[in-house]
Chains A and B, each alone.
Chain A
């Protein structure tokens, strides 16, 4: 009797699923498909204006007549590549250093991690002030070390440097988060294996290479995927620090899509950019999804 209730099927599951499905379909999946559909139309976004079907014309315009789009693509790719190396390595080093009883370990851990809980828009404002060419902390450091011509620094107003200056704030924001993930992963490293490797005469590097790192592999994958996702989503930091300037040289895809839709009132171009962003995300993340579902079936 009760067995039948246990596998009550979709009807039994529906009351539990309905609110989640409704919210997900109406506010996440629906708008996402609308974005793909609207990328094929010419439309200002105003209700009073017509939506005119134009096929792939928006994409053609993006690829051939929009240099800022290419800047944004390039910056987004550079951002992903840099963040796969710098904040991840930093997080791993921090975790390895704090994975043993160190004096003041909790203080170290908190200081490294706290930036990760602050609002990115607040971080953007803090760093914008640090980069202030006249009174900012980096200006004072460069004057003290006699770097440059003594007139202070112009990181955020330098078209070549701006995107990297924003990226520095991003590293500050997420390295500690990676550290916490690695610290959690390090709990799964078998102490016996480390000990026996030591007894076999392995030095610290040998232990890390042959024992610690292989055990960390699943954590590394999670950290890399989260890093990619967080890199593609970067928006607040750029808005708060440069707004995409100077001369649109620090644009990223997420912000360029917003700018075209809401500031230039071109929903076609904005949603075409959003669709490209979606495709890039899927191309980077789907392999991981396939890999992880395969792993669960073992």
Chain B
């Protein structure tokens, strides 16, 4: 809005041609953006189209053609044969247990590292930060042995525990930055009132950090929902599998039923897309600014 009034004001004192050039450039840029957006949307559109086509239509018409009639049978078939409801339930259970517990553990550690003075606290922070850089697959073999020895194969707890471990580094890193920004005078005043560390943590620091915690909650929910490698190793039977495992299982079992296959993909990504659309600002704000500030 303001740019408009500005340009109008400037227009009177300038000649026309540079302005018109700028307009052309702006229009050209917008068209380029629009074309790029179409290209970016194509995979999703193509999958949605296919998921609504009958087998005949998939084989006989171009992939760009609009579905002639919505073939909801694909979705029904994917639901019946794909173990999606069981897997969805498992994924939801794992995420709902892992995300809050993991976040609380991360927050407590970040609190200690940022608020309590002790020897080697910086080294410890660095040790945690390092973990976010290491590929999970490095530890996959031994991790399988640890979970086997604990008797937790095919058990949701068997993935929740490693998820908590691997989720710590990034969350501690972000929350440490956030907690450190809270002025130290607050600590002093809490202690003068006779409050200890627990009160400071639970009543002051955590409530003050709600935006960061909310952003991390959403991001962690999504990455927990999407995790594949650890689940692949630990959850080996159908009853315990999560959504990503079900996707892969469905693909290898029904290689050429393209309609149901794509319907399955759509249903599996739907929860995450809905979460993204509801909580967009958390994805874009908070966490990333924390990451970029470093």
Binding site for B on A (CB under 8 A): 2, 5-10, 12-13, 15-17, 19-21, 23-24, 26-32, 34-35, 38, 45, 47, 94, 97-98, 101-103, 107-115, 117-123, 125-130, 132, 135-137, 139-140, 172, 176, 180-181, 183-185, 187-188, 218-219, 222, 225-226, 229, 232-233, 235-236, 239-240, 254-255, 257-258, 261-262, 267, 270-271, 274-275, 277-278, 281-282, 285, 289, 292-293, 295-296
Contact = CB atoms under 8 A, between A and B. Distances in A.
Interface string B6-36: 0000000000000000000000011011001
B76 interface: no
Contact of A236 (B116, B165, B225, B229): B229
B88 interface: no
- Would you call the interface of chain B mostly helix, strand, loop, or mixed? helix
B166 A9 contact: no
Contact of A277 (B108, B137, B232, B280): B137
A37 B19 CA distance: 68
A198 B33 CA distance: 24
Contacts of A275: 138
Given A103-B30, A121-B248, A35 B109 contact: no
B165 A27 contact: yes
Contact of A267 (B58, B141, B188, B243): B141
Contacts of A102: 29-30, 33
B234 to A, nearest CB: 11
Contact of B146 (A2, A27, A118, A296): A27
Contacts of A27: 139, 143, 146, 161-162, 164-166
Interface of B: 3, 29-30, 32-33, 36-37, 40-44, 46-47, 50, 58-59, 62-64, 105-106, 108-109, 111-113, 116-119, 121, 124, 126, 128-146, 148, 161-162, 164-166, 168-169, 172, 187-188, 191-192, 196-197, 201, 222, 225-226, 228-229, 232-233, 243-244, 247-248, 251, 258, 261-262, 265, 268-269, 272-273, 275-277, 280, 283-284, 288-289, 291-294
Nearest to B64: A140
Contact of A117 (B44, B119, B169, B276): B276
A229 B166 CA distance: 14
Contact of B139 (A21, A28, A129, A229): A28
Most chain-B CB neighbours within 10 Å: which of A12, A97, A117? A117
Contacts of B132: 229
A254 B136 CA distance: 9
Given A24-B131, A113-B283, A258-B229, A19 B105 contact: yes
10 tightest A-B CB contacts, nearest first: A27-B165, A34-B142, A31-B139, A20-B109, A16-B112, A119-B226, A31-B142, A254-B137, A2-B191, A13-B112
14 contacts: A9-B119, A19-B108, A23-B168, A26-B165, A35-B142, A111-B40, A119-B244, A129-B262, A135-B59, A185-B292, A261-B140, A277-B135, A278-B134, A281-B133
A131 B87 CA distance: 27
A13 B294 contact: no
A107 to B, nearest CB: 7
A16 B172 contact: no
B145 A34 contact: yes
Nearest to B104: A19
A262 B247 contact: no
Contacts of B201: 16
